[in-house]
């Protein structure tokens, strides 16, 4: 079953917190993963792998570069869930 | 006692996490009390692998998760976690020396490497496919991962090294650290060894070599070096780290010097992939080389922390090697086989036992050898049995031995500061 945008944000924030220690509350839609949250590429790839698992979607390598902000990632996961449904 | 300042290395910090305790003091207290670190590996594994011939090991006394952040736990293999814990304690114990990062090195050994990471990645590949494999897999499985983690934690820039010589690795790292300082490439080096590979795969594999004790019903008495009934070692895990400094650097900053690393000797048997040279010639050459390097005589040695893993062949070969190296002086050396309590920490053993040797020299006390109910008549050594033994007053010198599959031999000589 597809998740709401809020559910995806909360799930993503949890993955970011687990990987980096950044408080989940700081993971907000307008934040940039690199510029605001200071997440390096290795951590970003880890978050992506774990997000695929958590939401049961595929995020191809070529799509990861386009995920600049938390909103980008939430939208991508939401669209992927919808497409699958 | 001689020993020129430009060759001698100051030991200014000690750190450990072991089957006996989560730090050096707890470990040392348990060691002097004759405690055992042996624990069952747990029903999850024994039920899943009923053919496993050995169902116990000396696992960590304090979980790494109590010392590191959840993120550090996620991003490090157990071997890296343990190395970080031991190194941080050693660094703090040394008083967090102020040193230029370009003059700070790391030598952190591992005998096996990131085994748990490899196996977890293999499970993920099988269960979920390649696209679920974690990007940190390679940095976590590589044998230099622990050394790199310690190097990053300290910002070390004089070189980060990982000697790999099986069960001699931890001692070889300390020898290599001394070399870095003596060659003028570093003023301070964090050196040691780490191992975190207790798993049915390693237990099954070591058991296949007939290397492990199978006393599943009497696990705290299974590791019994020098005893007539010894029948193999008990796997252990953990890490030991020391802070090594040039004498000049340590003295200039007024550091507490716990002992002096006076000499190192590294040789190889050139004989067999796993069996020791039966007369102990290669091991004897390592001890002699360390003594020659130290400017000390065999008669200066009052204590020896033996490699003594509790295997029938290895313990005898080492006993012969000690006599070959020290000659008549052997009879006045108090020998301790501390694996009787810690189990065999493989690539961390030489580092943890170097810490024990430093403390024995500093505090004038030799740790006991437990489970020695009936000493093998082929072992003609003065073994410290049951209770710790007071060492002679005054300046003291001691040897730590470590040997590894592949025919690696390392002898280290420590003396009073």
Residue A78, domain CATH: 1.10.1200.10
* Residues of B with Cβ-Cβ distance to A45 under 8 angstroms: 135
* CA-based nearest residue to B171, from B34, B35, B347: B347
Name the residue of chain B whose CA is nearest to A42's CA.
B135
Strands B259-268 and B188-195: unpaired
Chain A interface residues facing chain B, Cβ-Cβ under 8 Å? 18-21, 42, 45-46, 49, 52-53, 58
Q: What is the C-alpha separation between B395 and B417, in angstroms, rounded?
A: 8
Q: Domain total for chain A?
A: 1
List the single best residue of A19, A37, A58, A80 to mutate versus B (max B Cβ within 10 A).
A19
pLDDT digits (tens, 9 = 90+) for B368-415: 999 999 999 999 999 999 999 999 999 999 999 999 999 999 999 999
pLDDT digits (tens, 9 = 90+) for B176-186: 999 999 999 99
Instruction: Determine the average pLDDT of the residues in A35-58.
Output: 95
For chain B, what percent of residues have pLDDT higher than 70? 99
Contact A58 B128 (CB under 8 A): no
How far apart are the CA of A8 and the nearest CA of chain B, in angstroms?
19
Chains A, B: CB contacts within 8 A come to 26
Q: What is the C-alpha separation between B267 and B402, in angstroms, rounded?
A: 11
Confidence (pLDDT) at A1: 67
How far apart are the CA of A56 and the nearest CA of chain B, in angstroms?
11
- Please tell me whether residue A56 adopts helix, strand or coil conformation: coil
Superfamily for the B264-415 domain: Thiolase/Chalcone synthase (3.40.47.10)
Contact B128 A20 (CB under 8 A): no
Domains B9-252 and B264-415 share a fold: yes
B107 is catalytic: no
Name the residue of chain B whose CA is nearest to A61's CA.
B131
- For chain B, give the mean pLDDT: 97
Helix orientation angle between A70-84 and A41-55, rounded to the nearest 10 degrees? 30
Of B70, B128, B135, which is closest to A45 when you measure between CB atoms?
B135
Contact B71 A46 (CB under 8 A): no
* Residues of B with Cβ-Cβ distance to A17 under 8 angstroms: none
Confidence (pLDDT) at B2: 42
Contact B134 A49 (CB under 8 A): yes
- Could you list the residue range(s) of the whole structural domain that residue A9 is in? 5-84
CATH for B9-252 is 3.40.47.10
pLDDT digits (tens, 9 = 90+) for B105-164: 999 999 999 999 999 999 999 999 999 999 999 999 999 999 999 999 999 999 999 999
How far apart are the CA of B69 and the nearest CA of chain A, in angstroms?
9
pLDDT digits (tens, 9 = 90+) for B315-360: 999 999 999 999 999 999 999 999 999 999 999 999 999 999 999 9
How far apart are the CA of B74 and the nearest CA of chain A, in angstroms?
7
Confidence (pLDDT) at B278: 87
Q: What is the C-alpha separation between A83 and A60, in angstroms, rounded?
A: 15
Tokens for A62? 């070529």
* CA-based nearest residue to B202, from B301, B139, B114, B271: B114
Residue B308 has pLDDT above 90, yes or no: yes
Q: Is this structure's pTM higher than 0.90?
A: yes
How far apart are the CA of B78 and the nearest CA of chain A, in angstroms?
17
Q: What is the C-alpha separation between A74 and A29, in angstroms, rounded?
A: 8
Residues written for chain B: 417
List the single best residue of B70, B135, B137, B149 to mutate versus A (max A Cβ within 10 A).
B135
Q: What is the C-alpha separation between B391 and B366, in angstroms, rounded?
A: 7
Confidence (pLDDT) at A22: 96
How distant is the alpha carbon of residue B21 from its chain centre? Answer: 15
Q: Which residues, including other chains, have CB under 8 Å from residue B284's CB and lie 6 or more apart?
A: B320, B321, B322, B324, B325
Confidence (pLDDT) at B341: 98
* Residues of A with Cβ-Cβ distance to B136 under 8 angstroms: 42, 46
Instruction: Determine the average pLDDT of the residues in B293-300.
Output: 96
How far apart are the CA of A53 and the nearest CA of chain B, in angstroms?
7
H/E stretch holding A27 reads none
Q: Where are the domains of chain B?
A: 9-252, 264-415
Confidence (pLDDT) at B57: 98
Confidence (pLDDT) at A2: 85
CB atoms within 10 A of CB B174: 33
The answer to whether B315 touches B379, Cβ cutoff 8 Å, is yes
Tokens for B74? 């996620």
Contact B74 A18 (CB under 8 A): yes
Contact B132 A52 (CB under 8 A): yes
Burial status of residue B315 (CB atoms within 10 A of its CB: 0-12, 13-18, 19 or more): buried
Tokens for B67? 């010392």
Confidence (pLDDT) at B5: 60
Contact B132 A53 (CB under 8 A): yes
* CA-based nearest residue to B58, from B26, B42, B36, B80: B36
Contact B74 A21 (CB under 8 A): no
Strands B160-161 and B104-110: parallel
Contact A49 B135 (CB under 8 A): yes
Tokens for B218? 């009497």
Confidence (pLDDT) at B121: 98
Contact A46 B134 (CB under 8 A): yes
What pLDDT band is residue A84 in, cutting at 50, 70 and 90? confident
Tokens for B246? 């040039």
Percent helix / strand / coil, chain A, rounded to 5: 60, 0, 35
* Residues of A with Cβ-Cβ distance to B71 under 8 angstroms: 18-21
pLDDT digits (tens, 9 = 90+) for B22-55: 999 999 999 999 999 999 999 999 999 999 999 9
Of A18, A42, A58, which is closest to B135 when you measure between CB atoms?
A42
Question: Which of B58, B107, B167, B197 does the annotation list as catalytic?
Answer: B167
Contact B71 A19 (CB under 8 A): yes
């Amino acid at each position: 079953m597809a998740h709401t945008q809020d559910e995806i944000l909360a799930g993503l924030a949890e993955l970011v917190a687990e990987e980096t220690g950044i408080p989940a509350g700081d993971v907000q839609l307008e934040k940039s993963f690199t510029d605001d949250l200071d997440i390096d590429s290795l951590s970003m790839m880890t978050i992506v792998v774990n997000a695929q698992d958590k939401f049961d979607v595929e995020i191809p390598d070529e799509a990861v570069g386009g995920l600049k902000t938390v909103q980008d990632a939430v939208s991508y996961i939401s669209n992927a869930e919808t497409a699958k449904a | 006692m001689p020993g020129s300042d430009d060759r001698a290395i100051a030991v200014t910090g000690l750190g450990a996490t072991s089957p006996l305790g989560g730090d050096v003091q707890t470990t040392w207290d348990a060691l002097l009390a004759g405690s055992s670190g042996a624990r069952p590996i747990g029903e999850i594994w024994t039920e899943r692998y009923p053919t496993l011939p050995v169902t116990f090991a000396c696992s960590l006394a304090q979980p790494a998760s109590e010392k590191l952040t959840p993120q550090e736990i996620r991003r490090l293999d157990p071997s890296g976690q343990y190395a970080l814990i031991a190194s941080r304690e050693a660094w703090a114990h040394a008083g967090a020396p102020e040193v230029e990062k370009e003059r700070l090195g790391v030598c952190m050994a591992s005998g096996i490497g990131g085994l748990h990471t490899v196996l977890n990645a293999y499970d993920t590949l099988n269960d979920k496919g390649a696209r679920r494999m974690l990007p940190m897999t390679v940095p976590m499985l590589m044998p230099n991962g622990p050394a790199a983690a310690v190097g990053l934690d300290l910002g070390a820039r004089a070189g980060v090294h990982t000697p790999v010589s099986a069960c001699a690795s931890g001692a070889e790292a300390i020898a290599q650290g001394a070399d870095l300082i003596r060659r003028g490439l570093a003023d301070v080096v964090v050196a040691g060894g780490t191992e975190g590979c207790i798993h049915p795969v390693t237990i099954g594999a070591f058991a296949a070599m007939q290397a492990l004790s199978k006393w599943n019903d009497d696990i705290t008495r299974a590791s019994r070096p020098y005893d007539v009934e010894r029948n193999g070692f008990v796997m252990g895990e953990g890490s030991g780290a020391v802070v090594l400094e040039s004498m000049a650097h340590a003295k200039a900053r007024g550091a507490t010097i716990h002992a002096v690393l006076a000499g190192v000797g590294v040789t190889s048997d050139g004989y067999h992939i796993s069996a020791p040279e039966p007369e102990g010639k290669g091991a004897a050459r390592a001890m002699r080389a360390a003594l020659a390097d130290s400017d000390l005589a065999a008669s200066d040695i009052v204590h020896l922390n033996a490699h003594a893993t509790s295997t029938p062949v290895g313990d005898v070969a080492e006993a012969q090697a000690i006599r070959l190296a020290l000659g008549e002086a052997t009879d006045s050396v108090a020998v301790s086989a501390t694996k009787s309590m810690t189990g065999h920490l493989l690539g961390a053993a030489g580092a943890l036992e170097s810490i024990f040797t430093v403390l024995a020299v500093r505090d004038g006390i030799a740790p006991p050898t437990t489970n020695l109910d009936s000493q093998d008549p082929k072992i003609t050594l003065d073994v410290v049995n049951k209770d710790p033994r007071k060492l002679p007053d005054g300046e003291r010198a001691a040897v730590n031995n470590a040997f590894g599959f592949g025919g690696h031999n390392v002898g280290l000589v420590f003396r009073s500061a």
